[in-house]
Amino acid sequence: METVLVLGATSDIGIAIAKKFASEKYNIQLAARKPELLGPLQSDIQIRYNVECSVYAFDALIFHSHSMFFETLSPKPETTICIFGTMDDEEDAFNNWSLTQRMIDTNYTGAVSILNIAARSYLKNKKGTIIGISSVAGDRGRASKMIYGSSKAAFNAYLAGLRNKCFKDNVHVMTVKPGFVYTRMTENMELPALLTSTPAYLADVVYNGFARKKNVIYIKWFWRYIMLIIKSIPEFQFKKMKL
Amino acid sequence: MKKQIANWGNYPAMEADEESFVFEEQLDALVDKDVSFITRGNGRCYGDASLSERTISTLKFDKILSFDTENGVFECQSGITLDQVLNVIVPKGWFLPVTPGTKFITIGGALASDVHGKNHHVDGSISNHVVEFDLVLASKEQLTCSKENHPDLFEATLGGMGLTGVISRVKLRLKKIETAFIRQKQIKAANLQELIGLFEEYKDYTYSVAWIDCLKKGEHFGRSILMLGEHAKLDEIPPDQRPDALKLPAKKQITFPINMPSWVLNSLTVKSFNFLYYAKNFKKEINNIVSYEPFFYPLDAILHWNRLYGKSGFVQYQFVLPLSEKKGLIEILNRIADEGLGSFLAVLKVFGNQESMISFPKEGYTLALDFPVRKGLLEFLDELDEFVLKYDGRLYMSKDARMKPALLEAGYPGLKQFKSIIKKYNPGNKIRSVQSDRLLLTADS
């Protein structure tokens, strides 16, 4: 049985993805900043799906701990899924450097730090899959998601580069761009039902994309075309819009 | 963000905030907020019990914590549904000790309603099988309650409609099974008299319930089908099924697509339905082996069947009368037949003995029926309440959307004690629902 590492396992999306892969008979490694929260999810996965499930402490912001973290994983996961990320209020972040830096360091720097390590290990074995959960917000910079969007744009570019770099060595990289998702993060936001997915739906689509070795997937699929339209608006026009 | 919520009867509906939690520390933070709330599971009670302007949803708090497959002890967080529990325990040779007619309720909701099933006369309600649970009080304090620890809270929480605190973790004793099948017997009864005789004759069956035609008058008054069942033993099922005796039944579900316009349901359509339902059992008696799903959860196969009753919704009326008050049962059934406000599924069962503070079941006849919400319905139900009151009966709070506080008080001798326990552990009525306010359980005074 292969093993999947879930980075950011306390988020609603992390939980859903861990359960989905467990239901498909993968052993699961749960990693999060607060591993002490993961006991119930660990027992749930073991009992429901009859797979192995272990828990690790992982902090995206403590970059120098990442190699040691990956070193201690036993067994080495064949698939690494990077889910962690933060989204603060943009206006607060704009006015407070530490918030801006935390968003960039979590969503981009931290992700690059750990995925470089995973990728090196996979390239050496000429086998492995990396999945990055990014966002449609990275497709074009706009005022309402300026910092968050730019961190995800950088992450998208990184994942695309990594895909290109790893392809010839049989290491697959998949970029996942969700639109709106019903999570605790968005519980108090009014979201358009048609454009919004549940974590369970997202996890199904991620698993199917993984099984079919997709490169870039949008969730839901029509976000690809929505973003295509948004990307095609000329900048002189775009800059005047309220987005 | 406010959204429109309602329970299974779609009556009443209201705007509410819904907040959820995945971890205990998040629950603490939600309980700590200075706004009153009621805990809500899957919204499968029928009336207003889990409605409030602010609800805390347990649905994301749904993890399985331990499962002792040797001794059949199962421990989980309260937001898991019975459906998910069955998926895990049936293949290992265990079953829910008590299950109501739907598997789409949460364990927390099952305890808060102290649900009963077709085996009440043998196994009692779910409270009989609870080892312990954790309760987060309005003060944020968390207590582990059992028959030994905090027995007052233990008893008041089982059937207490969520008013003592948030049930967070539950440990249950399961029932051993050899197969996922039920050995079923269905017997037609031409009238109520015969049905009551049959209940007596077959009281040793673990599971028993009757569907009853409430619109029939005269000599066929109370014609019905008695459904009996036992968990099938391995040697009772067809040999080719034995290797997969504990396999989960395949999921066959259809969704009721739209809210039915209200004119569709009238005494003519209900009479036709009842005729067909009765006539489908061609023989006087049927004996067969069926999967547990159609036996326990016939309506779960149709998702959103509540839409049958249209946008205005329906009220389910369930009462229990003491065994000595057969006369009362006949009077109520007569009154319903006269009114012609029939119900597709009227269900009659005999409860065994149960002594509890605030749970619904007590020894006697319990009848449950659905009434579409129409003009005049509430007045009619008030009239039925008079009979229930007169014959020393009570109504089931999990079904209720409209009873008056006086009926609750008359029907539940433990109410005074229950109220004093709420006062002690839920001071200031931080935990309150539309129902608890209506029934003056949490009224400011």
pLDDT in tens, A125-149: 999 999 999 999 999 999 999 999 9
Residue B444 pLDDT > 70, yes or no? Answer: no
Residue A185 burial (CB < 10 Å; 0-12/13-18/19+)?
Answer: middle
Best B64, B83, B90 residue to mutate vs chain A (most A CBs within 10 Å): B64
Minimal CA–CA distance to B95: which of B300, B295, B352?
B295
B134-159 in b/e burial notation, b at 16+ Cβ within 10 A? Answer: bbbbbeeebbebeeeebebbbbbbbb
> In angstroms, what is the C-alpha Rg of chain B?
21
Q: Which residues of chain A register pLDDT less than 50?
A: none
Query: Domain A3-238 carries which CATH code?
Result: 3.40.50.720
- Inspect the interface and report whether the beta carbons of A184 and B22 lie closer than 8 Å: yes
Same domain, B209 and B116: no
The chain B residue lying nearest A41, using CA atoms, is: B63
The chain A residue lying nearest B25, using CA atoms, is: A37
- B66 chain-A contacts, CB cut-off 8 A: 43, 47
How much is the pLDDT for B349?
96
Same domain, B304 and B210: yes
DSSP B182: E
Separation of alpha carbons B267 and B64, rounded Å: 46
CATH number of the domain encompassing residue B115: 3.30.465.10
Separation of alpha carbons B255 and B262, rounded Å: 19
- Sign of the CA dihedral with B96 first, then B98, B104, and B110 last: negative
Residue B393 pLDDT > 60, yes or no? Answer: yes
How much is the pLDDT for B120?
98
CATH number of the domain encompassing residue B287: 3.30.70.2520
Domain extents in chain A: 3-238
How much is the pLDDT for B131?
98
**Phi and psi at residue A54, in whole multiples of 5°?**
-125, 165
Within 10 Å of residue A135's Cβ, how many Cβ atoms?
24
The pLDDT > 70 percentage for chain A reads 100
Residue B256 banded pLDDT, cuts 50, 70, 90:
confident
Higher pLDDT, residue B218 or A83:
A83
Residue B445 pLDDT > 60, yes or no? Answer: no
A179-193, B62-76, B363-377 — which one is most confidently predicted on average? Answer: B62-76
In-domain check, residue B45: yes
- C-beta of residue B302 within 8 angstroms of C-beta of residue B252: no
In-domain check, residue B438: no
Q: What is the mean pLDDT of residues B143-153?
A: 97
Amino acid type, B116: H
Residue B282 banded pLDDT, cuts 50, 70, 90:
confident
How much is the pLDDT for B332?
93
Amino acid type, A63: F
Out of A227-241, B23-37, B386-400, B422-436, least confident range: A227-241
- Sign of the CA dihedral with B293 first, then B295, B297, and B300 last: positive
CA dihedral B104, B106, B112, B117 (to 10 degrees): 40
Question: Element (H or E) spanning A32, and its range?
Answer: strand A27-32
A37-61 in b/e burial notation, b at 16+ Cβ within 10 A? Answer: bbebbbbbbbbbbebbbbbbebbbe
How far is A165 from chain B, CA to nearest CA, in Å?
38
Residue B407 burial (CB < 10 Å; 0-12/13-18/19+)?
Answer: buried
Residue A242 burial (CB < 10 Å; 0-12/13-18/19+)?
Answer: exposed
Three-class secondary structure of residue B74 per DSSP? strand
Separation of alpha carbons A2 and A117, rounded Å: 19
What is B360-374 written as a DSSP string? Answer: S--SEEEEEEEEE--
Q: Which residues face B431 on adjacent strands?
A: B37
Separation of alpha carbons B191 and B211, rounded Å: 12
- Inspect the interface and report whether the beta carbons of A43 and B65 lie closer than 8 Å: yes
- Inspect the interface and report whether the beta carbons of B1 and A15 lie closer than 8 Å: no
Give the 3-state DSSP-derived string for A47-100, with helices as H, strands as E and coil as C: HHHCCCEEEEECCCCCHHHHHHHHHHCCCCCCEEEECCCCCCCHHHHHHCHHHH
Question: For residue A29, how far is the Cα from the chain centroid?
Answer: 15
Range of the domain at B149: 64-177
Q: A188 in contact with B at a CB cutoff of 8 Å?
A: yes
Amino acid type, A224: R
Name the residue facing B64 among A15, A47, A190 (closest C-beta).
Answer: A47
The chain B residue lying nearest A183, using CA atoms, is: B20
What is B203-216 written as a DSSP string? Answer: TTSSEEEEEE-TT-
Out of A206-220, B38-52, B121-135, B211-225, least confident range: B211-225
Same domain, B267 and B321: yes
Same domain, B224 and B133: no
Name the residue facing B64 among A43, A188, A190 (closest C-beta).
Answer: A43
Question: What is the side-by-side strand order in the sheet with B38-40?
Answer: B2-6, B13-20, B54-57, B38-40
Same domain, B120 and B262: no
- B18 chain-A contacts, CB cut-off 8 A: 187
Q: What is the mean pLDDT of residues B220-238?
A: 94
How much is the pLDDT for B319?
98
In-domain check, residue B443: no
Contacts of B112 (CB under 8 A, 6+ apart): B39, B41, B157, B158, B159, B160, B161, B162, B167
Separation of alpha carbons A121 and A114, rounded Å: 11
In-domain check, residue B445: no
Separation of alpha carbons B77 and A15, rounded Å: 15
Over residues A183-225, the pLDDT tens digits come to: 877 777 788 888 889 999 999 999 999 999 999 999 988 889 8
Question: Element (H or E) spanning A116, and its range?
Answer: helix A111-125
Separation of alpha carbons B245 and B6, rounded Å: 39
- Let me know the angle formed at the C-alpha of B66 by B178 and B356, rounded to the nearest 5 degrees: 80
Same domain, B134 and B17: no
Three-class secondary structure of residue B187 per DSSP? strand
Residue B262 pLDDT > 80, yes or no? Answer: no
Same domain, B172 and B189: no
Same domain, B42 and B71: no
In-domain check, residue B348: yes
Contacts of B18 (CB under 8 A, 6+ apart): A187, B3, B5, B40, B55, B56, B57
- A15 chain-B contacts, CB cut-off 8 A: 22
In-domain check, residue B422: no
Separation of alpha carbons B340 and B271, rounded Å: 9
In-domain check, residue B317: yes
Structural domains of chain B, count: 3
Same domain, B171 and B187: no
In-domain check, residue B414: no
Same domain, B113 and B199: no
Contacts of B31 (CB under 8 A, 6+ apart): B37, B56, B136, B138, B140, B166, B430
Residue B250 banded pLDDT, cuts 50, 70, 90:
confident
Within 10 Å of residue B251's Cβ, how many Cβ atoms?
9
Same domain, B153 and B205: no
